[in-house]
Amino acid sequence: MGIISIINSIATTVFAHLVNNDSCDTVNSGYQCNTSISHSWGQYSPYFTVPSKISNAEPPFCSITFVQSLNRHGARDPTASKTAKYSATVAQIHSNTTSYGPGFEFIESYQYTLGADQLTSFGQQEMINSGFKFFQRYQQLATNNTPFFRSSGENRVVMSAENFIQGYHAAKVIALGDDTSSYKPLVLSEEKGVNNTLDQSECTNFENDDYYASFAVDAQAAWLSVFAPNITARLNENLQGAGLTDNQTIYMMDLCPFNTIASHVGVISEWCTLFTPNEWKSYSYYNTLGKYYGYGDGNPLGPTQGVGFANELIARLTNKPVVDRTSTNSTIDALETTFPLGLPMYADFSHGSDMTAMFSALGLYNDTSPLSTHTIQDTDETNGYSASYTIPFAARAYIEKMTCLIQPYELVRVILNDRVVPLQNCGADSLGRCKLDAFVDSLSFARSSGHWDKCFE
């Protein structure tokens, strides 16, 4: 057995998802199992390739010259505060339910064993697959260049970056037979008081003032009161005595994605069977509202928190030093070793809420009318905005620059989870692209610090 075939057979073992195209979970298309359920989990959906109206292939007579990829960590356990609530809800059911209705019997013997905050093994595989796909998509650039990797400091994010690198390296070995590059992400601390564009926490009023939190809380409460009462009634009918509230209906629904991704290969959980596809759509929208009004255009300080990243992106796209007075660290951004300019490939690793703020700082949804809190807005009406389309687990944005035979200027486009998101404020062409200069001009919000002053006054 030659070295290449040995490597290939190792890769075959590691990348079960890749080589098995019959599986409903593959490197190229992500999680396509039980899609009428699993694509409606908002930010708890595992990455899946999002339908795109515009082809995301390299356009004819163009060549991609630059890519910034921005990645959410892979699937994780519930956050610590949520895991406590889920566990209490299950305990409440167990202690007070007198009879379990048809389809609900499994709950009687269900043991709550989910952990907190950590990447799951399913999530690790997602990131390996993501790095693999990234190399394959950008092989032209990747053959002679090493990406610059940065990761926010929380354990699951750093581990996600490392898994991504593992997949990237494996794909490179398979394609080129060798890979002697060494990769190590620059880790940006999430400690308080540290400026970190991949994990915002320095906008004081946003962190401490309930006024800013109220936008998401109110939007979700309004939508919950529309769609949840009937579901809660059904749950209580089938779990006599449990006394569940509408909020706990959300926890019951959360148990479906979290038990699914706790399974090594993402076997759909029994909790998912308790709800209909339409109910999952309502749930997805509930999660969408939380992100949109929490960190996106629906929050007065949402986009502002993505400004630091947007200004770093401008620096990378234009090959000029960072100009920013918000969340960047000027020490880090001034050094060639920690913020190199002029490279064709960058990969950053962050969190879903932070990425939501970054996308809004880039104006991707600036022309989208505010999301309704009493009826589901279709993703066509929202330029493709929804939590499951933008920040599923292992989400990846690709911000590309290209040069083309006909146009005498550089073009920019944005691809979120394989969907081309047509740029809104810079005169995009039919392929959703803007001239680099027009794109940078359109980022005046970021270039003028957004509403950063409101973080402190």
Ligand X SMILES: *[C@@H]1O[C@H](CO)[C@@H](O)[C@H](O)[C@H]1NC(C)=O
Query: How many Å from the N-terminal Cα to the C-terminal Cα in the chain?
Result: 68
Say which of 73, 169, 351, 451 is annotated catalytic.
Answer: 73
Closest CB to ligand X among 195 and 259? 195
303 touches ligand X by CB under 6 A: yes
Among 7, 114, 267, 268, binds ligand X (CB under 6 A): 268
Closest CB to ligand X among 181 and 331? 331
276 touches ligand X by CB under 6 A: no
Size of the site for ligand X (CB under 6 A): 32
Q: Which among 97-105, 108-116, 355-363, 371-379 is the span making contact with ligand X, rule CB under 6 A?
A: 355-363
Decide if 73 is catalytic: yes
Residue 408 CB, nearest approach to ligand X (Å): 27
Q: Which among 104-112, 155-163, 326-334, 369-377 is the span making contact with ligand X, rule CB under 6 A?
A: 326-334
329 touches ligand X by CB under 6 A: yes
34 touches ligand X by CB under 6 A: yes
Q: Which among 73-81, 175-183, 265-273, 371-379 is the span making contact with ligand X, rule CB under 6 A?
A: 265-273
Closest CB to ligand X among 18 and 119? 18
96 touches ligand X by CB under 6 A: yes
363 touches ligand X by CB under 6 A: yes
326 touches ligand X by CB under 6 A: yes
Among 12, 23, 28, 52, binds ligand X (CB under 6 A): 28
Binding string, 215-244, against ligand X, x = CB under 6 A?
Answer: --x--------xx--x------------x-
Question: What residues line the site for ligand X (CB under 6 A)?
Answer: 19, 21, 28, 34, 37, 92, 95-96, 194-195, 217, 226-227, 230, 243, 245, 247, 268, 272-273, 303, 325-326, 329-332, 360-361, 363, 366, 445
- Residues with active-site annotation: 73
